[in-house]
Amino acid sequence: MSRGRKIYNARCYFCHGYSGNAKTLASTYLSPPPRDFTAADPAKLTREKMIDAVSHGRKNTAMQSFAGLLSPDDIVAVVDFVRHNFMAGKSVANTHYHTAANGWPDHKRRYGAAYPFALGKIPLDTPWKDLTPEQQEGKRLFMSGCITCHDRARVRDSGAIWDPRSVSYPRGGYRPGQSAPDAVSGATPYARHDRAPIFSDLSPQQSLGEQLFQKNCAFCHAADGTAGNWIGHFLEPHPRNLTDSKAMAGMTRARLKHVIRDGVENTPMSAWKTVLSTEQIDAVIAYITRAFYHIDKNAVSNRRH
């Protein structure tokens, strides 16, 4: 099982969670949401079906093919791990992430006050006046660090009360004993990549593209187009650095349009044709050309995709 566990923790946890229950940040924005393996019936979700899904992906979902990243033996190993740990065992512990080895020494003492919010025992949008001083400190701690991965946890009102643009670094940081958070987290070097370039002379089409890019594309490619944010480093293969001349070599508007519309097989770049219209895709390309890398309208691609 150790082989399958290692693969799962490297490739699958972001969507399906370390506990296999899909209570993840990804489940808040993916439609349909990732599968909850703990609720799956092993008799209906057979081993063969799972091997096929990991190998070839599932159409019209975020589940992509892993055949280009994992060997057939690796795919079998991770499927068997999931079936043993989450579907048959259900209560079998997988991996405790917040350990000293992972950079979280004395995690329970340092972050214990935030546990009620991370575990959903206290809704995050509970009014400050209804929280005890200890709970208020826990909420500040959660908002300054934990929310990066735990997102908004549980809330009373699930309406659009949060900034929908995810950032890939802790909002501030935390140092015990200080009244205000400071940027001490090891993840904050990624923060600069979540800052969008500022322009005052964008055309109407480029302005529309800016809104669409920052709302949709920046999650993987970063707000500055470099893919240098935390999510960009996590995904494999890494999203394209739109500012890099080597990465953009041979890129034409037609090719970029095809990539955005239909996605790229065996990569995290999924198809956007059911999300963005042709006009919106053109606007995104206009913004990329203005903000990150100039794509000559007359350029000829020397690559197929």
Between the two ends of the chain, the Cα-to-Cα distance in Å is 38
Check whether 40 has a pLDDT greater than 70: yes
| pLDDT over 90, % of the chain | 52
pLDDT band at 167 (very low <50, low <70, confident <90, very high): low
Residues carrying CATH 1.10.760.10, the chain: 2-88, 195-291
CATH number corresponding to 2-88: 1.10.760.10
Q: How far apart are CA 164 and CA 29, in angstroms?
A: 9
- Length, in residues, of the chain: 305
Question: With DSSP H G I counted as helix, E B as strand and the rest as coil, what are the percentages for the chain, rounded to 5?
Answer: 45, 0, 55
Q: What is the mean pLDDT of the chain?
A: 84
Check whether 178 has a pLDDT greater than 50: no
* Number of other CB atoms surrounding residue 132 within 10 Å: 8
pLDDT band at 91 (very low <50, low <70, confident <90, very high): low
CATH number corresponding to 195-291: 1.10.760.10
Q: Collapsing DSSP states into helix, strand and coil, what is residue 18?
A: coil
- Nearest of 242, 241, 253, 303 to residue 278 by alpha carbon: 253
pLDDT single digits (tens) 220-268: 999 999 999 888 887 888 999 999 999 998 899 999 999 999 999 888 8
pLDDT single digits (tens) 116-139: 998 889 999 899 999 999 999 999
- Nearest of 31, 42, 1, 38 to residue 16 by alpha carbon: 38
Q: How far apart are CA 284 and CA 281, in angstroms?
A: 5
pLDDT (average), residues 96-114:
84
DSSP 176-244: TT-SS--S--TTGGGGGGGS----S---HHHHHHHHHIIIIIHHHH-TTSS--SHHHHHSSSPPP-TT-
pTM over 0.75: no
pLDDT single digits (tens) 44-63: 999 999 999 999 999 889 89
- Nearest of 238, 201, 232 to residue 219 by alpha carbon: 232
